[in-house]
Structure 1
Amino acid sequence: MISIRICGAAVRVHFSFLVFNALIFLMRSSGLVLSFYAVCLLHEAGHLTALRHTGGSISTVDVSGAGIVIGTQKGGRVTDKSRLYVLLAGPAANILLYVLLSICGYHGSFAQLNLIAAVYNMLPYRSLDGGAIISLLSLGTVRERAVMHILTAVKLFMIVLSAAAVYYCGREAFPLLAAAIALFTGDITRSP
C-alpha cells in the first residue's frame, strides 16, 4: 500500500487498485480506459462538492480495486440528511452529465459510461453508494435485520445472474462475475 498526505487527508492506494488497472488496460482500449477514469473522477467530484456544501471535510481517501472510499472528519454536526445528500451526489453528477450529453446529441461511450456508473453505484452493496444509502436508512429500525437478509439474497442472485451471463455470453461477461463476487465478499468482511 502506498500512503501519502494531500491537503491534510491520508490518501492510501492499495495494491488491488494497481491489479485492477492492469486488468483494465489489458482488456480494453486506452481511450475507453481514459473515459472510465474521467467518469470516476466526475462521480467523486460530485461527492466532494456535496461534502463541502454540507460543511464536511475529508480525513482519508482509500483507493482500491473495489473503488474509492472517502472518510470524513469526526466532529461537527453531521446529520443523516447530509450523509444522504453526499451519497446521492456522485450518481447524480453522472446522471446529470449523461442527460446533458444526450440533449447535445452525444450518445457515445463517455455518455454511456456515465449512466452505467450511476446505476452501478446504486447497487445494494455496502461499498457502493446504494448499499450505504440502504444501511443509512435502515440502521436502527425494527426492519434492519430483514432488510439485510433480503439484500444478501439479492446479492447472491446477482452472482448467479453474472455466472449465467458468463456461461451464455462467454468470457466477455467474466468481469461482471468477478465484480459480483468481489462486492459480495467485501460486504461480508465489512459486516458489523
Structure 2
Amino acid sequence: MIELKLKRTALRWDFSFFAVLAVFFIWDYSGFGFAALGICTAHELAHLAVMRLFGMSPDSLTFYGAGIRLSASTVESAPPGDQAAVYAAGCAMNFLLGGVFLVAGEGRIAAVSFAAGAFNLLPLGEFDGRRLLKLLLISRAAPENVDTALRICGIISAVIAGAVLFKAGGASPTFFITAAYLVILSAKRL
C-alpha cells in the first residue's frame, strides 16, 4: 500500500486499485474508463465539499480494488442531518452530472453517472445507501435489529437490481461481481 499524508488526512492507494484499474483500461474498448474514473472522483469530492461545509475533515481516503473509501470520524459524531447531507452528496453529484451529460447529448456517459449514483444508493457494504438507511433505522428501530435489517435490505435490493439490470442487458460484469461479493458478505453475517 502506498500512503501519503496531506495535513491530517491519509491518502492510500492499495495494490488492488492499480490492478483493477489496469485490467479495466485494458478491456475498456468503449473509451468510458476515464469518464467512469472522473465520475467516481466527482462523487468523492462532493462528499469532501459537504464535509468541509459542515467543518468536518476526513481521516483517510483509500483507493482499493472495490472502489474509493472515505473515512471520517467527525461525520459519525455529527448530528444526523449533517451526516445524511454528507452521505447523500456523492450520489447527488452523480445524478447532477448525469443530468448535465444528458443535456449535453452524452447519453452513455450520463448512464454511467446515473448508474454510479444508483449503485451507491444500494444498502450494501460501506455504500452511501447503507449509511443513509442506517440513519433512518437507528431513529425508528430497536438497536439490536438495525444490523440484521440492513443486511436483509442490502441482499434484497442487490438481487432486485441485479435481476432488473440482467433482464435489461445493461450491466457490466463488474457490477455483478461486486454485488455478488457484497451479498455473500452480508449473507455470511446473518
Kindly provide the amino acid, as one letter, of the partner of residue 180 in structure 1. A
**Which piece of structure 1 moves more, 157-166 or 25-34?**
157-166
**Which piece of structure 1 moves more, 52-61 or 30-39?**
30-39
Q: How does 1:1-192 map to 2 (within 5 A)?
A: 1-29=1-29, 31-74=31-74, 78-104=78-104, 106-139=105-138, 141-146=140-145, 148-157=147-156, 158-159=158-159, 162=162, 174-185=173-184, 187=186
Count of aligned pairs? 187
- Contact (CA 8 Å) 1:39, 1:110: kept in 2 or not? no
How many angstroms apart in 1 are the aligned matches of 2:137 and 2:160?
Answer: 26
- Contact (CA 8 Å) 2:124, 2:151: kept in 1 or not? no
Q: 1:62 to 1:185 in 2, by over 3 A?
A: farther
- Contact (CA 8 Å) 2:91, 2:121: kept in 1 or not? yes
- Give deviations 1:24-47, integer Å, cap 9, x for gaps: 123213721100111011111111
Q: SS state of the match for residue 55, structure 1?
A: coil
User: Post-superposition shift, 1:85?
Assistant: 0.3
How many angstroms apart in 2 are the aligned matches of 1:71 and 1:86?
Answer: 12
Where does the alignment leave 5 or more consecutive residues of structure 2 unmatched? none
Kindly provide the amino acid, as one letter, of the partner of residue 42 in structure 1. A
- TM-score, normalised via structure 2 length: 0.80
Q: 1:121 to 1:3 in 2, by over 3 A?
A: same
- TM-score, normalised via structure 1 length: 0.79
CA RMSD of superposed structures (Å): 3.3
**Which piece of structure 1 moves more, 34-43 or 91-100?**
91-100
User: Post-superposition shift, 1:146?
Assistant: 4.7
- Contact (CA 8 Å) 2:155, 2:186: kept in 1 or not? no
How many angstroms apart in 1 are the aligned matches of 2:60 and 2:163?
Answer: 35
Q: SS state of the match for residue 32, structure 2?
A: helix
**Which piece of structure 1 moves more, 35-44 or 91-100?**
91-100
